[in-house]
């Protein structure tokens, strides 16, 4: 699963857990059991915040923000 993908262009498993809709304990449990955790983001900071969580496997960005696929995550994180 890619770190960043455009919403609607990636086939996700039926049991995906949406990070923004779940409490932290459920996210940790899902991750520990191998259930994929996915988040939505529409800004560079949103992508960075979502991927800062080790449980998040992928961040989906809206089609109108396809440029977020090209983010340099190392530069964004470490400057």
Predicted confidence (pLDDT) per residue in 47-66, tens digit: 999 999 999 999 999 999 99
Q: What is the pLDDT of residues 64-75, one digit of tens each?
A: 999 999 999 888
How is residue 46 written in tokens?
Answer: 């949103």
Around 63, how many Cα atoms within 13 Å sit in the side-chain half-sphere? 3
pTM equals 0.91
In the structure, what pLDDT confidence band is assigned to residue 78 with cuts at 50, 70 and 90? confident
Q: Is the pLDDT of residue 31 over 90?
A: yes
pLDDT band at 2 (very low <50, low <70, confident <90, very high): confident
State how far the alpha carbon of 47 is from the alpha carbons of 12, 14, 33, 55, in Å: 18, 23, 24, 14
Tens-place pLDDT, residues 12-25 = 999 999 999 999 99
């Amino acid at each position: 699963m890619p770190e960043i993908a455009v919403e609607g262009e990636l086939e996700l498993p039926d049991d995906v857990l949406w990070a923004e809709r779940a409490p932290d304990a459920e996210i940790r449990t899902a991750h520990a059991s191998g259930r994929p955790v996915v988040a939505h983001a529409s800004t560079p900071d949103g992508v960075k915040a979502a991927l800062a969580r080790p449980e998040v496997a992928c961040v989906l960005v809206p089609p109108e923000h396809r440029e977020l696929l090209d983010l340099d995550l190392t530069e964004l994180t470490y400057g």
